[in-house]
Amino acid sequence: MSIFTGSGVALITPFKENGDVDFEKLKELVDYQIENGTDAIIICGTTGEASTLSHEEHLACIKACVEYVDHRVPVIAGTGSNCTATAIYLSTEAESYGADALLVVTPYYNKATQKGLIAHFTAIADSVKLPIILYNVPSRTGCNILPETAVSLAKNVENIVAIKEASGNISQVVKLAALANGCIDIYSGNDDQVVPLLSLGGKGVISVTANIIPRDVHDMVTKYIDGDTEGSLALQLKAMKLCEALFCEVNPIPVKKAAELMGLCGGTLRMPLAEMEQEHVTKLRNAMIEYGAI
């Protein structure tokens, strides 16, 4: 059984003006997502600025999210690291808090061979009982999970059950789907490729854009699964200009600004992320107005 089907939001982490995590705003964001149909909450992923959280903050965010969601939807905790021991520590702690699943990114900076990836993910999976979603985002990590590697892990490690595919390489995803033959669930990690991945048997999306238009991202997946492919495609195409604006600077700079423009939370970022360029703010605001998000 899949961890979730539909739209999982890669949730932003709200910060106060002094840079502290704003846990009250985090609760409000969770409610906003659930009230608008989001099917799963992904906490402390790339969009959640996990790389700038201390271990204590990272785990506090996971714990707070799990407790507040209170089984309304699955909570998937980002627990990856470029250090296998650190990923195991974060993963076992998240499991102890009651997370429903883990999202584990490939090692970054030090990278790994495909043999190293198998050893890395297997060691993490063996440390917990929770289902694991592999996270393939080579543009950020410099490390690509090849289809053969993902299939090998899914077939040989019981709790590695899914992959978030954010390579942007549709040909690679086609090969993955063909080799897997259903042995691993595939989630789109690119908001501009949701429908293409659904057409390859994908189960849904782990979405940045869902922070801003959660109902429509949910409906995009649901319509496709229910057989309304034209309706699903219409939502995908409608969102394209907004998606472009949300990625005109490195994620999560634009989506944090979009949340601020909507009054959902402050737009405070942690360095080295910097305030969005004004010309890009204008582009984002115009795209949001045209879409009807504000």
In a domain, 240, yes or no: no
- Domain total for the chain? 1
Is residue 184 in some structural domain? yes
Residue-wise pLDDT for 66-125, tens only, equals 999 999 999 999 999 999 999 999 999 999 999 999 999 999 999 999 999 999 999 999
Is 33 inside any structural domain? yes
Is the residue at 293 inside a domain? Answer: no
What pLDDT, on a 0 to 100 scale, did the predictor assign at position 113? 97
**CA atoms of 46 and 78, how far apart (whole Å):** 8
Euclidean distance between CA atoms 99 and 244, whole angstroms: 32
| Residue pair 11/48 in contact by the 8 Å Cβ criterion | yes
Tell me the per-residue pLDDT of 30-45, one tens digit each, with 9 for 90 and over.
999 999 999 999 999 9
> What per-residue confidence (pLDDT) applies to 272?
97
* Rounded average pLDDT over 6-15: 98
* C-alpha–C-alpha distance, residues 108 and 50, integer Å: 13
Is 93 domain-assigned?
yes
Q: Report if residue 39 sits inside a domain.
A: yes
Q: Taking residues 228-235, report their average pLDDT.
A: 98
Is residue 1's pLDDT more than 90? no
Q: What CATH number does the domain containing 119 carry?
A: 3.20.20.70
Residue 284 belongs to some domain of the structure: no
Domain ranges, residue 101:
6-228
Q: How much is the pLDDT for 12?
A: 98
Catalytic residue positions, numbered: 135, 164
> For the segment 153-200, what is each residue's pLDDT rounded down to a tens digit?
999 999 999 999 999 999 999 999 999 999 999 999 999 999 999 999
Q: What is the pLDDT of residue 69?
A: 98
Please tell me whether the overall predicted TM-score, pTM, comes out greater than 0.85 for this model: yes
Mean pLDDT over the full length of the chain: 97
Residue 250 domain-assigned (yes or no): no
